Amino acid sequence: MRQLRDTDIKRLMRSYRREHPLRHDIVALLQSVEYPANVGSIFRVADALDLTGLVLTGITPEPTVGTAHKVARGKEARVPWRYVATPGEALAELKAEGYRIIAVEIADEAVPFTEYEYPDKLCLIVGHEDHGVTNQTLSLCDAAVYIPMFGKGRSLNVHVSLAIVCAYLRYGLACEA
């Protein structure tokens, strides 16, 4: 066994994509994700899992400078993104485009992320690192999913949580089809 490089990696990934077409149109909305490293990491996740785009709201820093730019490693130039002042404004636009709105949040009506029946067009919302998705934004959502925790921690880092749910949609569900 040997590690692949450049052209061989491109061929391998192209072959996989041909055999496993995407089943979901995924947009992610970042509600006041405060830490630039998390924003940069989310851009890398969005690129790796071919999200349709990212919507930044509230105090979420733009990925074009500083730590967010460094961590994103150029993915902010590849992943479509926009800034909208409030989640409500962005969600109204997304709903008008046919997206169902799903919070990745520990909420009273949330279901485990593996048990939700995801629509073809969805917007996943992740919130602030300490406060999560606000109750006001949750009231605008169609559903909420959570990641069950087996250890003592109550939750994972925001970019890790988004990556898990998106990877499940890209790989987990695709394997069942």
Strand partners, 121: 25
Residue 14 lies in a domain: no
CB 169 within 8 A of CB 24: yes
Q: What is the pLDDT of residue 139?
A: 98
Give pLDDT tens digits for 98-131: 999 999 999 999 999 999 999 999 999 999 999 9
Q: What is the pLDDT of residue 172?
A: 76
CATH number, position 116:
3.40.1280.10
Q: Which phi and psi (to 5°) does residue 14 adopt?
A: -60, -40
Q: What is the pLDDT of residue 173?
A: 61
| pLDDT at residue 175 tops 60 | no
**Of 18-22, 43-47, 77-81, 144-148, which gets the smallest average pLDDT?**
18-22
Residue range of the domain that includes 56: 21-176
Residue 1 lies in a domain: no
Residue 13 lies in a domain: no
Q: What is the mean pLDDT of residues 50-78?
A: 97
Total of domains in the chain: 1
Residue 167 lies in a domain: yes
Q: What is the mean pLDDT of residues 23-42?
A: 98
Averaged confidence pLDDT in the chain: 95
Residue 103 lies in a domain: yes
Residue 62 lies in a domain: yes
Give pLDDT tens digits for 154-166: 999 999 999 999 9
Residue 105 lies in a domain: yes
| pLDDT at residue 174 tops 50 | no
Local confidence band at 62 (pLDDT 50, 70, 90 cut-offs):
very high
pTM of the model: 0.94
- What's the burial of 1, exposed, middle or buried (CB within 10 Å: 0-12/13-18/19+)? exposed
Q: What is the mean pLDDT of residues 138-149?
A: 98
Residue 60 lies in a domain: yes
If phi over 0 gives left and psi between -120 and 50 gives alpha, with beta otherwise, what is residue 103? beta
Tokens 């919507």 correspond to what residue? 55
